């Protein structure tokens, strides 16, 4: 059940049975020569929508822009500063707490969000601990789940792609979007086949180290069939994890 296609009465009824909600969170950033700029938002969103179809889980609107400062050297990338993203997450949680939501499951598609999302959770708990919550937040629980860490997914990616999976514009995430959005598949040759890997600093440094935007990957190997396998496995693992978390 998606929040945007629900009425407030339906949300009231949902809250009688569950205080859990899945909030997809991603990024709008370059993903190399054949990866969509929306990849990191489209992956958790498509997975969440399927989880919402298969189970009774309520799915919030996707936070589609994340912390992606290091990608700003490439056209079309958008970032929120960490401090802005923390406020966005706090405001979303504080809004939904008013109605009785308690368990906030952030389904994440972007490694660059991880530290900031955890900092936002600490801010939310600090509000309660210091007696500064706008409402009673003693029952609020937040969890970050990275889709690529769902049960079995990393092993499957490694079986499918080995070292060519890489760490940004990975074969796995490009495959997932190719399965979920087959009309947006791009066929582009990669040069070199496997991209360089290395540390992340600012945007100008990133562009120098990773000229076409990929890190350690060869997403020319991505394919929708692999994406389907990854998608189904991730949905199963994440749905189980959400229900355990929100029970």
Q: Which stretch binds Ni ion (CB under 5 A): 15-23, 40-48, 66-74, 145-153?
A: 40-48
Interface with Ni ion (CB under 5 A), residue from 40, 45, 50, 165: 40
| Structure-token pair, residue 120 | 């936002």
Q: How far is the CB of 107 from Ni ion (least distance, A)?
A: 14
Closer residue to Ni ion, CB minimum distance, 20 or 66: 66
Q: Binding mask 163-182 vs Ni ion (x if CB under 5 A, - otherwise)?
A: ----------x---------
Q: Which is nearer to Ni ion, 71 or 137 (CB)?
A: 71
In whole angstroms, how far apart are CA 120 and each of 56, 200, 221? Answer: 27, 22, 36
In the shown chain, the binding pattern of residues 51 to 80 toward Ni ion, with x for contact by CB under 5 A and - for none, equals: ------------------------------
- 39 vs 175, which CB is nearer to Ni ion? 39
Closest distance of CB 185 from Ni ion, Å: 16
Write down the least CB distance from residue 13 to Ni ion, Å: 36
Determine if 45 is a binding residue for Ni ion (CB under 5 A): no
Which residues pair with residue 23 across a beta bridge?
A: 106
Query: CA-CA distance, 46 to 120, in Å (whole number)?
Result: 24
Q: How far is the CB of 51 from Ni ion (least distance, A)?
A: 19
Name which of 101 and 147 has its Cβ closer to Ni ion.
147
Distance in Å, CB of 99 to Ni ion, minimum: 32
Smallest distance from Ni ion to CB 210, Å = 13
Beta carbon of residue 46, minimum distance to Ni ion (angstroms, whole number)? 13
Give the pair of three-digit tokens for residue 194: 């496997």
Under 8 Å CB-to-CB from 149, ≥6 apart: which residues? Answer: none
Question: In this complex, which beta carbon is closest to Ni ion, that of residue 113 or of residue 127?
Answer: 113
What backbone phi and psi angles, to 5 degrees, belong to 37? -60, -25
| Closest residue to Ni ion, based on beta-carbon distance | 40
Q: Where are the beta strands (DSSP E) in 1-147?
A: 20-25, 58-59, 103-108, 141-146
Site for Ni ion, rule CB under 5 A: 39-40, 173
């Amino acid at each position: 059940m998606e929040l945007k296609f629900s009425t407030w009465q339906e949300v009231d009824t949902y809250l009688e049975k569950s205080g859990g909600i899945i909030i997809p969170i991603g990024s709008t950033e370059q993903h190399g020569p054949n990866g969509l700029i929306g990849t990191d938002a489209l992956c958790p969103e498509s997975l969440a929508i399927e989880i919402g179809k298969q189970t009774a889980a309520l799915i919030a609107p996707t936070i589609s822009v994340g912390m992606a400062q290091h990608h700003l050297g490439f056209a079309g990338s958008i970032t929120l500063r960490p401090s802005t993203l923390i406020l966005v997450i706090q405001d979303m949680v504080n809004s939904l707490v008013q109605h009785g939501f308690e368990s906030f499951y952030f389904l994440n598609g972007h490694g660059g969000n991880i530290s900031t999302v955890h900092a936002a959770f600490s801010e939310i708990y600090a509000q309660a601990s210091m007696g500064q919550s706008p409402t009673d937040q003693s029952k609020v629980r937040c969890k970050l789940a990275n889709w690529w860490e769902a049960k079995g997914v990393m092993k499957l990616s490694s079986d499918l792609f080995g070292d060519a999976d890489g760490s940004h514009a990975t074969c796995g995430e490009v495959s997932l979007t190719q399965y979920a959005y087959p009309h947006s598949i791009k066929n582009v040759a990669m040069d070199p086949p496997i991209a360089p890997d290395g540390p992340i600093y600012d945007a100008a440094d990133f562009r120098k180290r990773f000229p076409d935007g990929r890190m350690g990957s060869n997403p020319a190997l991505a394919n929708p069939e692999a994406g389907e396998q990854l998608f189904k496995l991730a949905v199963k693992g994440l749905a189980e994890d959400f229900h355990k978390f929100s029970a």
